[in-house]
Chains A and B, each alone.
Chain A
């Protein structure tokens, strides 16, 4: 039981950190590889996806605001979550792929 609480509180702290990076709204490389589980990866992916869907809030020193970059961050985290065993990831991945395709078509010259 004690172990469960420790694990739960650790997960809570990490999830709180998902939106606590000093330079970006979502986690990018702040966590050690061994600490990342499927749920955490999925949460981080959702954070990036939500960020990609925000209207372009141009902070002068914001470091990630390119829509393609934000979606690629989201995609990379969802793909990792899938590899770590998370369920229901395919809906996110296909949604992101649709958005990426739209961006690619818009970017064609």
Chain B
């Protein structure tokens, strides 16, 4: 699909009347036009796959020749406060000598396959939240609410966004201590959405969003642990199903703790189960408020984090990732605030999410403790995987402001293969029995 066709799809959507005022919208409901001062350009179809390109399985940085326009550090951040989140300001305050945001030209690179746009536009007319808000009806595929009426709908767009239909990656999770010492955990992950599950049953599996496996491959003392998850749409009606294969015991056990604030796998207590993918699982424990669209500096087009020659020693610094490898751009984001409901329980009392308007992907997140103090701050380093027309993360970081430790999740720079998207798989590969068979240490 060429750029003109993609723009036409967006304009068609506007012509159907599902617009915000007089603004033209993209096929995913973002404002198509530039902002007032031109610092955010118009969306022109994104950085899409070129069929004649050399490789179908790797991304090259299309913006490698871009130079840093300016940087935000301890000396000037007050000038940019309106475009920074409290988490970013805290990072600058805590790391005055070493931390900065390198600001580059904004490139609205997000692009998706046309059928995904088509489904999103149909969903805009038919999708509804279930009565209790814990599920969705009348939708197909991805992006149920591209014109969100409330915060919950916006969060559902993040949960239900397109990630290639299936994905397989070898990634590294790094836990960094306050001293700067760090330890790496190798993880292999596979996730498959219904359209790529060969034996998917539309009746029996109608509440399944995706099936996923996560296998710890290193270090040796942790290797062999495998987590299997069937993520469900309505997790109140049918809770997420999770099983854990313990390599030491050679047993598969149900793992209901892998939800909400259950501790993340081999994460040293630095992330909760729902911190994965910036936020995942069920939104039912929070009241959600949509606080409008804002222009912010967010991580974007972080192609440097996908370079195979990059290694952890270069990237990990005391207190934060090495800013030299990070790229920030000004984009419009939806701000969504979640406050713990009365009668519900979670270690995060409040959470604030900033969702990129072009992808519905959470770019930044803040997690507050029971005293209302900012406890943890997350960044999702976005990349357009053009070979699969898929926007996703090149890594995520979660900074703990209490312990001064941080965790990086999903680093693929050290992996020996790029992320594979869009393959078919069988449901039988995602059963507890399959877990037991594959659990050979």
Taking a contact as CB atoms closer than 8 A, the residue among A23, A76, A83 that contacts B347 in the complex is A76
- Cβ of B302 to closest chain A Cβ, rounded Å: 27
Are A73's CB and B261's CB within 8 A? yes
Chain A's closest residue to B259 (CB) is: A29
Residues of A within 8 A of B273 (CB): 29
Chain A's closest residue to B225 (CB) is: A61
Are A83's CB and B94's CB within 8 A? no
Residues of B within 8 A of A70 (CB): 269
- Cβ of A106 to closest chain B Cβ, rounded Å: 9
Are A79's CB and B263's CB within 8 A? no
* Bound complex: CA A21 to CA B255 (Å): 9
Q: Which of B4-12, B81-89, B368-376 contacts A (4 or more CB under 8 A)?
A: B368-376
Are A61's CB and B370's CB within 8 A? no
Would you call A14 an interface residue if the criterion is a C-beta within 8 Å of the partner chain's C-beta atoms?
no
Are A61's CB and B266's CB within 8 A? yes
Residues of B within 8 A of A23 (CB): 244, 255, 257, 263
* Bound complex: CA A63 to CA B222 (Å): 12
Number of interface residues of A (CB under 8 A): 35
Given contacts A24-B257, A29-B257, A61-B222, contact A66 B345 (CB under 8 A): no
Q: Which of B160-168, B323-331, B396-404 contacts A (4 or more CB under 8 A)?
A: B396-404
Chain B, residues 88-123, CB within 8 Å of chain A (1/0): the string is 000000100000000000000000000000000000
Would you call A91 an interface residue if the criterion is a C-beta within 8 Å of the partner chain's C-beta atoms?
no
Chain A's closest residue to B405 (CB) is: A66
Would you call B260 an interface residue if the criterion is a C-beta within 8 Å of the partner chain's C-beta atoms?
yes
Chain A's closest residue to B403 (CB) is: A66
Would you call B420 an interface residue if the criterion is a C-beta within 8 Å of the partner chain's C-beta atoms?
no
Are B221's CB and A100's CB within 8 A? no
Are A63's CB and B268's CB within 8 A? yes
Are B342's CB and A83's CB within 8 A? yes
Given contacts A63-B268, A79-B345, contact A107 B259 (CB under 8 A): no
Taking a contact as CB atoms closer than 8 A, the residue among B259, B270, B346 that contacts A66 in the complex is B270
Chain B, residues 254-293, CB within 8 Å of chain A (1/0): the string is 0111111111111111100100000000000000000000
Chain A, residues 45-89, CB within 8 Å of chain B (1/0): the string is 000000000000000111111101110110111011001000000
Residues of A within 8 A of B262 (CB): 24, 28-29
* Bound complex: CA A30 to CA B266 (Å): 18
* Bound complex: CA A31 to CA B262 (Å): 12
- Cβ of B240 to closest chain A Cβ, rounded Å: 10
Chain B, residues 364-392, CB within 8 Å of chain A (1/0): the string is 00000111010100000000000000000
Taking a contact as CB atoms closer than 8 A, the residue among A63, A66, A76, A101 that contacts B402 in the complex is A66
Would you call B322 an interface residue if the criterion is a C-beta within 8 Å of the partner chain's C-beta atoms?
no
Taking a contact as CB atoms closer than 8 A, the residue among A63, A77, A80 that contacts B263 in the complex is A63
Taking a contact as CB atoms closer than 8 A, the residue among B221, B257, B265, B347 that contacts A69 in the complex is B347
Given contacts A60-B221, A61-B221, A61-B222, contact A22 B263 (CB under 8 A): no
Would you call A8 an interface residue if the criterion is a C-beta within 8 Å of the partner chain's C-beta atoms?
no
Can you name 16 A-B pairs with beta carbons within 8 Å?
A22-B246, A22-B255, A23-B255, A28-B257, A61-B266, A62-B269, A63-B264, A64-B269, A66-B269, A68-B403, A72-B369, A76-B261, A76-B345, A83-B342, A100-B371, A104-B373
Residues of B whose CB lies within 8 Å of any CB of A are: 94, 221-222, 239, 244, 246, 253, 255-270, 273, 342-343, 345-347, 369-371, 373, 375, 400-404
